[in-house]
Amino acid sequence: MSSSESTSQTTGEAARRERRRSNSLLLALAVGFLVFGAATGALYYALRPDTLRIAVGPPGSDDEKVVQAMADAFGSESRAVRLSPIKTEGAAESLALLGAGKADLAVGRGDLDMPAEAQAVAVVRKNFVVLWAPSGLAGKNFAGKNSKRKPAPKIKEVADLAGRHVGVIGRTAANAALLRVVLSSSGVAADKVAITHFGTDNIEELARDASLDAFMAVGPLDSKITSDAVAATARTRGEPKFLAIETSEAIALKHPRYESEEIPPSVFNADPAWPEDKVETVSVSHLIVAKKTLSETTVAAFFRQLFAVRQAIARQVPGAAHITKPDLEKDTELPVHRGAAAVIDGNERTFLDRYGDYFWFGLLLLSGIGSAVAWLRRYLNRDEREENTSHRKRILAMVSSARTADSNQELLSLQREADAIIRETLECYDDGAIEEEELAAFGLVLELLSNAIAERRAALQRANFETVRGAATAPRG
């Protein structure tokens, strides 16, 4: 082999080694970026707060104020769940947005049409049905000037509403539907009772309407709207007679969305007591609802946060004090979401229960990535492995050359060539281009070459020695 060929070969080998190092570096960087990206993504996904869209309305209502206070409280601290309120014209629109997938949560009455698979998360408040009739014109004495006997009301019970005219506070159709359920259960044909709706800002107009025989309000017992309506009708039409819904238990049995309740005495006024005694009635809950498909973990986190801040927001918005947990014992028409139920029952799944499958999947994914990296590494180093194979074949050929070498100079050339091959092979091994098994196979043929060179060198030395000794012992002429 000429010096120019040797130099060219050395330069080519150096270039290949440089390419091999570059490929190994790029592979290491690619794997590093992949692992870093996966870890960063997993950390971001695990720590980022979930933002839930909650539909509530109408604007300015107690529900809207409570939800806005909840959103502010959730956002003021580092919490797992944030709220993004969506203002609507009312509960019906809020539930429609939930059904259309444009909201994650919605605030609505339990007797409205619910979206498919809707489930209760929390009770915002209980709305009680309050029915009352006036006793007569205020200040008018029906029994004589000096008589203290109160005028007898024309309507004493729900059955007396047949053929009458009822003023209903609130323009939602749900109130009229609820009144029809009450009338039907009391044996009164709903079409025999006229109904007129009044807005919550038309209380005085309702009280002055002489055509109305009775009044109905649906709301919390501490509702200012109901209290003002009772007081307004008492000023213009005389003291109220509260009508008991004696069939409340039957209504609750037939319609699980309603509950049988009692109005305690003196809840609307103390002196005189309105009502004088407890009054049987029905209630319907205002709920925060979510679809069944909403994550159990997310709902559980929202539920915990809600009751953690309830007392704090109740100081800002009194209506928040009515928020309660749904009753798991009652057989209601709307089931409780499994996330809220798990917190209430204390059966919430642990971290490993929730994410154990993800850990196993992560391990399998890492194993797959490792296998892919190993394959890619072998693919990138295929040239080096082929070169190592050719080196082994070259050494085997050198073994034959060593055994037939005619001089020590030839053996020395073979040894130098072997040294160069050894140096390059070790560099490949250090760079990870060849495996330990391949290095072991290379060592076997290298040992074979070393033995062949040693044996041939010994044979040449013996031949030289015998030649010299024969020349020394030859007779001189």
Tokens of 443: 């060592």
* Bridge partners, 131 (sequence order): 216
Segments of 193-344 assigned E as strands: 194-198, 214-219, 240-242, 258-263, 279-291
The domain ranges of the chain are 121-289, 381-471
Preceding peptide of 318 cis, ω within 30°: no
Q: In this structure, what DSSP letter does residue 259 have? A: E
Q: What's the confidence (pLDDT) of residue 389?
A: 76
Q: What's the confidence (pLDDT) of residue 135?
A: 86
SS3 at position 194: strand
Closest CA to 290 of 336, 330, 322, 327: 336
Q: Calculate Rg over the CA atoms of the chain.
A: 46
> What is the rounded CA–CA span in Å between residue 406 and residue 366?
58
Closest CA to 348 of 310, 279, 295: 295
- Which amino acid is present at 218? V
**Any residues with CB less than 8 A from the CB of 435 and at least 6 apart, and which?**
none
Closest CA to 104 of 255, 274, 281, 292: 292
Q: What's the confidence (pLDDT) of residue 140?
A: 44
Q: What's the confidence (pLDDT) of residue 216?
A: 98
Q: Is 157 exposed, middle or buried (0-12, 13-18, 19+ CB in 10 A)?
A: middle
State the helix-helix crossing angle for 382-403 and 436-473, rounded to 10 degrees.
Answer: 20
Q: What's the confidence (pLDDT) of residue 477?
A: 52
Planar angle of CA 188, 194, 197, nearest 5 degrees: 125
Closest CA to 274 of 309, 321, 228: 228
Give, rounded to a whole angstrom, the gap between the first and last alpha carbons of the chain.
46
Please check whether residue 106 is in contact with residue 56, taking contact to mean a CB–CB distance below 8 angstroms: yes
The class (CATH top level) of 121-289 is alpha beta
**Any residues with CB less than 8 A from the CB of 237 and at least 6 apart, and which?**
134, 135, 136, 137, 138, 207
State the helix-helix crossing angle for 3-47 and 408-430, rounded to 10 degrees.
Answer: 10
Q: Going residue by residue through the chain (477 aa), what tens digit of pLDDT does each one get?
A: 444 554 455 555 556 656 656 666 666 666 666 666 665 665 555 556 889 999 999 998 899 999 999 999 998 876 789 999 999 999 999 999 999 999 999 999 999 999 999 999 999 999 999 999 998 755 443 333 444 445 556 899 999 999 999 999 999 999 999 999 999 999 999 999 999 999 999 999 999 999 999 999 999 999 999 999 999 999 999 999 999 999 999 999 999 999 999 999 999 999 999 999 999 999 999 999 999 999 998 999 999 999 999 999 999 998 899 999 998 887 777 999 999 999 999 877 655 555 566 667 777 877 887 777 767 666 666 666 677 777 778 888 888 888 888 888 888 888 888 888 888 777 777 766 677 777 787 788 888 888 888 888 888 888 777 776 676 666 655
Q: What's the confidence (pLDDT) of residue 210?
A: 92
Helix (H), strand (E) at residue 253? helix 248-254
> What is the rounded CA–CA span in Å between residue 170 and residue 206?
11
> What is the rounded CA–CA span in Å between residue 251 and residue 71?
36
pTM for the full model?
A: 0.66
> What is the rounded CA–CA span in Å between residue 453 and residue 155?
127
Please check whether residue 317 is in contact with residue 136, taking contact to mean a CB–CB distance below 8 angstroms: no
Strand 165-169 with 194-198, pairing: parallel
Strand 279-291 with 105-109, pairing: antiparallel
> What is the rounded CA–CA span in Å between residue 41 and residue 78?
19
Q: What's the confidence (pLDDT) of residue 125?
A: 95
Tokens of 23: 């490929």
